[in-house]
Amino acid sequence: MATLVPENHPVLHAIAEEVTQKEIENGFVDKLIKDMKKALKSYSVDGFTAVAIAAPQIGVSKRVFIIEDQSNDRDALPSFAAINPQIIKTSKKTHIVGEGCLSLPEMYGEVKRHKNVTMRALDENGNVFERGAGGLLAQIIQHENNHLDGILFIDIAEKVYSKEEMKKRGLSEAKG
């Protein structure tokens, strides 16, 4: 089973490679997505829920992420895979949001994100789709795209907290 790689793994700090049409057709992407779903579902750190994962987080340098909300305590986010995603539009309005990451289970931060984004990507079958998003979904899309560019949230965070500081402050958040 695919597992999360440690924060110092080189693939987490490199620009991921584009997925080819051949990799979609020959089943590589299907297997990758299954592995990512297993890793996402296996994530368990008290008080935190996994919502998304990018291929680099399991050590695969490919431009793929999935969103599959594991939470039961809010309206579920839509589930989908994004292959070779590009953010093609961002709102001018930004805000500071709390963020965690599967790759940094002991950290939490405050990150400046666009309130709304539009993304263009391929689905699992290689078909192009566009999706607009606001709020938490827009934040997750930006976070996962950062992973594909070798950027961790702590690289761009305005403030970073340890898990102990988070408990003292009563913070909890979805992780991707």
Please give the pLDDT value at position 134.
96
pLDDT at 173 over 90: no
β-pairing, 116-122 vs 159-162, is unpaired
pLDDT digits (tens, 9 = 90+) for 13-37: 999 999 999 999 999 999 999 999 9
d(CA 171, CA 100): 10
Count how many domains the chain has: 1
Residue 96, domain member (yes or no): yes
Residue 5, domain member (yes or no): no
Could you tell me the residue range of the domain that residue 56 belongs to?
A: 10-175
Which has the closest alpha carbon to 151: 105, 116, 119, 103? 103
Asked if residue 3 belongs to a domain, the reply is no
Per-residue model confidence (pLDDT) at position 41: 86
User: Would residue 4 count as lying in a domain?
Assistant: no
Residue 175 pLDDT more than 90? no
Gap between the Cα atoms of 113 and 88, Å rounded: 15
- Pick the range with the lowest mean pLDDT from 86-90, 100-104, 162-166: 162-166
Domain membership of residue 117 (yes or no) is yes
Task: Establish if 61 belongs to a structural domain.
Answer: yes
Q: DSSP secondary-structure letter at 17? A: B
Is residue 44 over pLDDT 70? no
Would you please indicate which residues are annotated as catalytic (active-site) residues?
A: 144
Within-domain flag for 139: yes
Cα–Cα distance measured from residue 174 to residue 51, given in angstroms and rounded to the nearest whole number: 6
Q: What is the mean pLDDT of the chain?
A: 90
CATH classification at residue 109: 3.90.45.10
Of 52, 51, 163, 176, the closest CA to residue 108 belongs to 163
Tens digits of per-residue pLDDT, 48-99?
Answer: 678 999 999 999 999 999 999 877 666 678 999 999 999 999 999 999 999 9
Helices then strands, counting H and E runs in the chain, come out as: 5, 10
